[in-house]
Chain A
Amino acid sequence: MNFAASPVLALTLPTWRSRLLLYVFIACFAVLLGRAVYLQGLNNDFLQAKGESRYSRVIEIPANRGRILDRNGEALAISTPVKSIWAIPGEVRPSERQLARLGALLEMSPREIENRLAETGRDFVFLKRQIPPEVAERVAALHIPGLFQNREYRRYYPSGEVAAHVLGFTGVDDIGQEGVELAFQDGLAGKPGSRRVIKDRLGQTVEDVESIKAAQDGHDLALALDARIQNLAFSQLKAAVAQHRAKAGGVVVVDVDTGELLALANFPTYNPNNRHKLAGAQLRNRALTDTFEPGSTLKPFTVALALEGGRVRPDSVIQIAPGSLSIGASTIHDAHFERSLTVAQIIQKSSNVGAAKIALALSAESMWEMFRDVGFGAAPGLGFPGEAAGKLRPYRNWRPIEQATMSYGHGISVSLVQLARAYSVFARDGELIPLSMLRVDMPPPARRVMARRTAGAVRAMLEMAVNRGGTAPRAQIMGYRVAGKTGTAHKQENGVYAADKYVSSFVGFAPASHPRLVIAVMIDEPSAGRYYGGTVAAPVFAQVMAGALRVLDVPPDGPMQPIELPPEGEEVKESV
């Protein structure tokens, strides 16, 4: 056809152009094909990884928090399921009616809800957390789009204020904030599991890809606490603080055999289930975190040290007359005048002059060592947040007057738990055992800090202090022999001893023949007239000890006859 020169034929369309164009198209489609191979066959790993990062999310599966139990398995802290209501702000458009009903259910004003929902820049806003499941169901029944619910747990403490300081509490995120909940957070919390899911752009899960890790529920925690004894200790303490119009108080009960803390009560306290309007004073676990100058309760340690060194024997006579002792510019007084006292009587009647005289015969270093050996000046190591170490100054700086006052518990500060622990040395024939907040099945090894004989001798003196002629007849219990020591100390305010502010205490153990429990009681600033440890703290000790021994079924070792108390005001007054 090409050789035809006819002008008509020349008008026909050039076929080569058509073919060329077609080839161009085929080439183009081939490029697409190649690109598809590249995208889908070769580079897909990269693209998939990019995709994952956009819509695959790892969501957490919460682990159940372990319960906190007392030593007998009674629940002290449990997790109950609750719901949280959250919203995607841009997507919630409730009607007036819905808004009003939602507000009523969540106990929020409609305006408050609207303010939350106005944060349209965010994809996630909590409206209310930790609401009861039945309320959450009624919220769900409103069928408001864009409103979602999360399952959460809320801690509930059946014993309420009784053991609040020991248990502590968890925050809204179920993380321990105080007490055992904080100290043993890791074990209680367990390990949350996780799953990988694919979410659409609105955040709804569309596909479960894989379970990465199963949730590991937290372990239940068995405390050393005995709920019955704790209840008893708390109720007696509460009554005593009220009766003596005291500022605060604490009771600590320690198992002599195992070092377990069977009870630890503080007042003032709080209800961990309703923590609105909490004051710092209510929150403090005073028995563990606060220290005080113990007063006469330290005299037995001074005497024990003197007995250890063979400087005195229990029946050695010490001259007390004229009833005061001047060291430098300071003078130490006794509350009642005695010409002379035996070492045992110094404990029984709590003579400051006697204790100071004994102390001045001892070296500062040995006294310091004794105090250190029974656990003063160092945190007791319960693993509890904020345990106080107390104040035990280095012996090199002690002046003679300081060494003298320290012998009867001034110029040194201890916590109530430290005091209870130190007394377990007398109860355990001279051994110091580590304390434990948790139930102990095998008692840990104890450390000997004084001779068996010494401990036995001091025990006998402490028994005298409780009996007729001692400072604490009100610590007696029917059917059991009791040993213990009172303490009454002026409180320091701004570095000066206040004339009318006292800390009254009593530490003791029973049965004296084979001690089972050490109980320490402290009442801070009793202001109803009485302030002696023997009248304020000792009765609390007696009540708690009697109840606890009964609870533990401890066989009696004393006469089963009513206790005769001296008439009010005629007991032996302690030297303050």
Chain B
Amino acid sequence: MLWAALLLLTFGMVMVYSSSIAMAEASKFTRGSPAYFLQRHALFLAASLFAGMLAFQVPVRLWQQAAPWLFVLGVALLALLLAPGLGREVNGARRWLSLGLVNLQPSEFMKLFVVLYAADYTVRKLALMHSFKRGLLPMFAVMLVVGWLLLREPDFGAFVVITAITTGILFLGGMNGKWFGGLLVMMAAGFVGLVLSSPYRMQRIFGFMDPWSDPFGRGYQLSHALIAFGRGEWFGVGLGASVEKLLYLPEAHTDFLLAVIGEELGFVGVIAVIALFSWLVLRAFAIGRQAVALERPYPALVAQGIGVWFGVQSFINMGVNMGVLPTKGLTLPFMSFGGSGLLANCLALAVLMRIDWENRQLMRGVRA
């Protein structure tokens, strides 16, 4: 699993460089240095790997104890974004906290904190999971607050991921089937309501359904992403030879990295990425079930929660790239450019590996 993640990270770095050259050169912001994004990405990556190694040293028990506090921290950071003067606005969304040299994106960390907290919550209320009032309602209330904060930014993508993580963990934690079904229906209704209530989200939905009807307006991004895939064919046009990245495809190095991969490395490149993510999810769930077998419910839920996170986020991102899902601002975990995302992903990976390591220790008979 570590190898899969490392492959994704390395591959991601190469592709971030390749896809950002043209943009870096053209932008005044980077002072014309083509390696601007590569340098920053490599720096973030080194920091993230180091942080991951540190995080690996932390026992899962400690994570569980810290979970509520981390969750509160996350909510606080999200709330700070709304405070005037602190949030940095890019393309109409206030998603970044300006911290001098680097910008922090709280929603990325929030995803990890939600995994840790929801798992902790579920384990604590394991016995009450069949009850609506005491099992579901408190969590529901908390998530409403988080969801509201995220939508204020707005960061619809993070909202979907976090909702998915929470529901996933509640579901895995044995929530009453009837209530869960009701919850799904409610969420579906809420989702539709949200989409219909905001013209900005409406536009994205329609752009996805038929990008060719308005290829220079709503469908601009997606149509260029699709063209990139089409140009790639089976084996790609060759590393660095993408045309779409030459300022046609916006956000080629973040949200639409897979499209550039598809163009430059073809179907082979895309299949490799899908395979690596599948393996990651598979392993996370395997580790989780191992923990279940070892009667360690908290690590089990955390591991699977992380699996849900990676799975949902990578699926949505790739689905968006290929025009299966409506356009949302979500990055590809481990691969896309962006320091906060990278750091949060690496921390999650470290936690996952720690769980696996503790599982193995247990199986060897060492009691934690």
Contacts and interface: CB of A to CB of B under 8 A. Distances in A.
Interface in B236-264: 243-244, 246-248, 262
A36 B229 contact: yes
Interface of B is mostly: helix
A441 B228 CA distance: 61
A57 B285 CA distance: 50
Interface string B197-240: 00000000000000010010000000110111111111000000
A41 B322 contact: no
A29 to B, nearest CB: 5
Contact of A39 (B127, B168, B262, B288): B262
B304 A40 contact: no
Interface of A: 11-15, 17-18, 21-22, 25-26, 28-29, 31-33, 35-37, 39-41, 43-48, 50-51, 54-55, 198, 200-202, 206-207
Contacts of B34: none
B281 A39 contact: no
A54 B173 contact: no
B272 to A, nearest CB: 11
A7 to B, nearest CB: 8
Contacts of B246: 55, 200-201, 206
Given A12-B292, A29-B315, A44-B230, A36 B322 contact: yes
Given A40-B233, A202-B247, A15 B322 contact: no
B271 interface: yes
B227 A50 contact: yes
B292 A55 contact: no
A201 B247 contact: yes
27 contacts: A11-B126, A11-B127, A12-B295, A13-B301, A15-B289, A18-B285, A18-B289, A21-B168, A25-B278, A28-B311, A31-B319, A35-B319, A36-B322, A39-B322, A40-B230, A40-B232, A40-B262, A40-B267, A47-B226, A47-B227, A51-B230, A51-B243, A54-B224, A54-B227, A55-B248, A200-B243, A206-B243
Interface of A is mostly: helix
B324 A22 contact: no
B320 to A, nearest CB: 11
A45 B229 CA distance: 11
B173 A13 contact: yes
Nearest to A20: B171
Contacts of B266: 40
Contact of A33 (B172, B271, B281, B295): B271
B227 A51 contact: yes
B281 A22 contact: yes
A23 to B, nearest CB: 10
Contacts of A13: 172-174, 292, 297, 300-301
B86 interface: no
B198 to A, nearest CB: 26
Interface residues of B, number: 55
Contacts of B319: 28, 31-32, 35
Contacts of B26: 202
B231 A44 contact: yes
Given A36-B262, A40-B233, A15 B292 contact: yes
Nearest to B227: A51
A22 B267 CA distance: 24
A35 B307 CA distance: 23
Interface string B271-296: 10010011001100100110010010
B47 to A, nearest CB: 30
A93 to B, nearest CB: 10
A39 B258 CA distance: 13
A54 B249 CA distance: 12
B270 interface: yes
Residue from the set A28, A55, A207 with the largest chain B CB neighbour count within 10 Å: A28
B321 to A, nearest CB: 9
B22 interface: yes
A12 B282 CA distance: 21
Across the A-B interface, the 9 shortest Cβ-Cβ residue pairs: A47-B230, A200-B246, A51-B227, A201-B247, A39-B229, A44-B230, A40-B267, A25-B311, A35-B322
B318 interface: yes
Given A28-B311, A41-B267, A50 B247 contact: no
Nearest to B316: A28
A364 to B, nearest CB: 73
